[in-house]
Amino acid sequence: MNSLAFATISELRAKLHDKVVSPSQLLDFFIERYKKFDPIINSTLEVFDKNSVMSASNQQGPLAGIPGLVKDNISINCQNLTCASKILQDFKAVHDATAIERLKSSGALLMGRTNMDEFAMGSSTETSAYGLTKNPWDVSRVPGGSSGGSAAAVAAGLAPWALGSDTGGSVRQPAAFCGIIGYKTTYGLVSRYGLVAYGSSLDQIGIFSRTVYDTALVLSEIAGHDTKDSSSLFVEKKDYTSLLKDELPKGLRIGVVGNALDAEGMDPEIVSAIEEAIATYESLGAQITRVALPTLDYAAAAYFILSRAEAASNLSRFDGVRYGLRDKDAQTLSDMYLNTRHDGFGPEVRSRILVGNYVLSTGHADAFYQNAKVVQRLIRREFVETFKDVDLLIMPTHPMPAFKFGAFDVDKLQMDLQDYFTCSMNLAGIPAISIPCGFTKNNLPIGMQLVGPHLSESLILQAAHAYEQKTEWHMKHPEGF
């Protein structure tokens, strides 16, 4: 049974088909792994009752009998939905997110909810109200964030796949830190209905898994138009696994973002690993050119402003009146608002709300918010122009390997710059995948991004899969799990 721990979805489906193991036994296996190993890394806030998990899903479908985990900001009917915050402690969801509804219909066994940075605000999963999550490759280091719980759980073999959310890189960066696949889709391809909003124009539900094929399989089940989401694209459901082959599409043009690899602060081991990956793509027949994205230098600042402005608006609903925590001892309505939000929100969330209200305030909106929207339009235009000359882009996912806990406690700006290479895609609404491409001399995973134009999911997955078939990085797992 130990061979199941790091098996792919494809391998588990074959074992279920051949009746080597039953869905009930498979779920038991991963629940036992959770009990044994999660006390070490704290990746998962709750594993649900087995009977409720089994009864909630169909017995048929592409993911029938396959356990998975869900980030704690995605609604699962009748289960706790806390966003890793005290302000929503014990709050139970009243409906399924569309992605959850579709996964249940596909037969997936949704076994629990994962830890995260509070309200998805962070890059290290250190801001959770329920304790930090540790990286399985080195438990003295962060797993990335804000979806660090989902990434750590998959990396540690507690589940073969998990859902996260990506507002500025919160799926791709933790995937890179933990040595697995992390995928952010085109904005609107996967419904946001049931995803608790941080930055509504940037948020997307994303996927963690161990292989590109598994990512494509899960994407095939959750993607497609949803009438419940006004930002949902009119894209029909399709099978994203059907075009995955060992070779690249003929004549594929890949642009290497030179000013990303040359950026200040880039770890030389990460640059070296990506250069080796580029050589692999050349050997596969890709036409490699070097390109520049000048707006990359402004993306993090624009993202900082826009995400916090939207967060201030979205989190205004958590006031102690409608749901969640309420200060019942307050003597006035104003005190109830103030005390509830002060006690319920952690310092990172409070900070982002304050900044968001500031950049939206009279006298500052033009200088900050409107200028950030101008930069966002420039970023989108630059990607459009760049993709006239190349089909895909290669760039780093992260500037440094997974860092130690508390590394940026006195330098919050450096923590914010963890989104430097990932937030441009959220601002532009385009898809990107992070795939493992090496390890440092200290055995820490390295990831790189493949980025494509609007709705280029199939091409990105093809290119990532072809690279994966020529390398073994995705087959490596942390010791001791």
Find the catalytic residue in 43, 57, 71, 458.
Answer: 71
Q: What is the pLDDT of residue 2?
A: 60
Residue type, 45: L
> Quick check: is 71 catalytic?
yes
- pLDDT (tens digit per residue) in 18-41: 999 999 999 999 999 999 999 999
- pLDDT (tens digit per residue) in 316-372: 999 999 888 999 899 999 999 999 999 999 999 999 999 999 999 988 998 999 999
Find the catalytic residue in 146, 150, 209, 220.
Answer: 146
Cβ neighbours for 3, distance < 8 A, ≥ 6 positions apart: none
> Distance (Å, rounded) from C-alpha 344 to C-alpha 29?
36
Q: Which of 41-45, 117-121, 398-402, 407-411 is predicted with the least confidence, judged by mean pLDDT?
A: 407-411
Rounded mean pLDDT, 443-457: 98
Find the catalytic residue in 124, 150, 165, 170.
Answer: 170
- pLDDT (tens digit per residue) in 185-215: 999 999 999 999 999 999 999 999 999 999 9
Give the global pTM.
0.97
Under 8 Å between Cβ of 165 and 100: no
- Residue 118 sits at φ, ψ, to 5 deg, of -55, 125
Structure-token pair, residue 193: 């209905």
SS3 for 97-164 is CHHHHHHHHCCCEEEEEECCCHHHCCCCCCCCCCCCCCECCECCECCCCCCHHHHHHHHCCCCCEEEE
Rounded mean pLDDT, 160-183: 98
- CA atoms 190, 172, 75, 310: torsion sign: negative
> Quick check: is 170 catalytic?
yes
- pLDDT (tens digit per residue) in 254-312: 999 999 999 988 999 999 999 999 999 999 999 999 999 999 999 999 999 999 999 99
> Distance (Å, rounded) from C-alpha 19 to C-alpha 455?
38
Which residue in 71, 65, 70 sits closest to 13, CA to CA?
65
Q: What is the pLDDT of residue 18?
A: 95
- pLDDT (tens digit per residue) in 410-437: 887 788 888 999 999 999 999 999 999 9
Could you give the angle at which helices 457-470 and 212-222 cross, rounded to 10 degrees? 160
> Quick check: is 351 catalytic?
no
Predicted confidence band of residue 247 (pLDDT cuts 50, 70, 90): very high
Query: Does residue 104 register a pLDDT over 80?
Result: yes
Under 8 Å between Cβ of 96 and 104: yes
Query: Does residue 149 register a pLDDT over 70?
Result: yes
Domains and CATH numbers, the chain: 2-248+456-475 (3.90.1300.10)
Report how many helices (DSSP H) and strands (DSSP E) the chain contains, helices first: 16, 11
Mean pLDDT over each residue of the chain, to the nearest integer: 96
Rounded mean pLDDT, 128-156: 98
Which residue in 204, 171, 201 sits closest to 190, CA to CA?
204
